[in-house]
Amino acid sequence: MSDVLLCLSTCPDEPSARRIADALVEEGLAACVNRLPGLESTYRWKGELCREPEQLLLIKTVRTRFEAMKGRLLALHPYELPELVAVEVAAGHAGYLDWVVQACEARTSGASAAP
């Protein structure tokens, strides 16, 4: 088991998804954020069935940065109740997982990391 987390969050549109992704990576709270457009989410909100287009964010971060990343995402997110789910990465390409850790640590120490 690694310290890497794959976090999922949805955004209502491209501008909010880009703003969140850019901030998380620029501030060293995530090594990488993929934005996947073209989703349609179905959910119940305040008693009503809703179907909305969304963009999915796949956020790669580390356990030690999760709380800070969560706080920043919640501060930037336009939803009243943003989705944020973290999944522990059980296995993966060791070099990539090492890069995720280094990228998150590098930003806090002032260094830079590239894949």
For 104, other C-beta atoms within 10 Å of its C-beta total: 27
Contact (Cβ atoms closer than 8 angstroms) between residue 16 and residue 77:
yes
pLDDT digit string (tens) for 15-58? 999 999 999 999 999 999 999 999 999 999 999 999 999 999 99
Helices (H), 53-93: 66-76
CATH of 4-109, one of 3.40.50.1970, 1.10.8.100, 3.30.70.120, 2.60.40.1250: 3.30.70.120
**Dihedral sign, CA of 70, 73, 74, 75?**
positive
Residue whose C-alpha is closest to residue 88's, from 77, 80, 97? 97
User: Is residue 1 pLDDT above 90, yes or no?
Assistant: no
The residue ranges of every structural domain in the chain are 4-109
pTM, entire model? 0.91
User: Is residue 110 pLDDT above 70, yes or no?
Assistant: no
Residue whose C-alpha is closest to residue 77's, from 7, 12, 3? 12
Contact (Cβ atoms closer than 8 angstroms) between residue 61 and residue 100:
yes
Contact (Cβ atoms closer than 8 angstroms) between residue 104 and residue 31:
yes
pLDDT digit string (tens) for 51-81? 999 999 999 999 999 999 999 999 999 999 9
